[in-house]
Amino acid sequence: MSTEIKVPQLPESVTEATLVNWHKKAGDAITRDENLVDIETDKVVLEVPAPVSGVLKEIKAEDGATVGADEVIAIVEEGEAPAKESKAEPEPKQGKTEEKPAAREETRKSGEQKPLSPSVRRLVEEHDLDPGVIPASGRDGRLTKADVLSFLESGGDKKPAAPAEKKPASAPARSAPAGAREERRVPMSRMRARIAERMIESQSSTAMLTSFNEVDLGAVMEIRKRYKESFEKQHDVRLGFMSFFVKAAVKALQQHPVVNASIENNDIIYHDYWDIGVAVSTDRGLMVPVLRDCDLLSFAEVEKQIAGYAKKAREGKIALEDITGGTFTVTNGGVFGSLLSTPIINPPQSAILGMHKIQERPMVVDGEIKARPMMYIALTYDHRIIDGKDAVLFLVAIKEALEDPARLLIDI
**Spatial distance between the Cα atoms of 257 and 173, rounded to a whole number of angstroms:** 58
**Spatial distance between the Cα atoms of 161 and 152, rounded to a whole number of angstroms:** 17
**Spatial distance between the Cα atoms of 113 and 20, rounded to a whole number of angstroms:** 18
**Spatial distance between the Cα atoms of 409 and 225, rounded to a whole number of angstroms:** 18
Tally of CB atoms within 10 A around 262? 18
Q: Distances from the Cα of 55 to the Cαs of 26, 39, 46, 218, 251, in angstroms? A: 8, 21, 22, 61, 56
First to last CA, the chain: 67
Which residues are the active-site residues?
383, 387
Beta strand pairing call for 54-59 and 29-30: antiparallel
**Spatial distance between the Cα atoms of 240 and 330, rounded to a whole number of angstroms:** 14
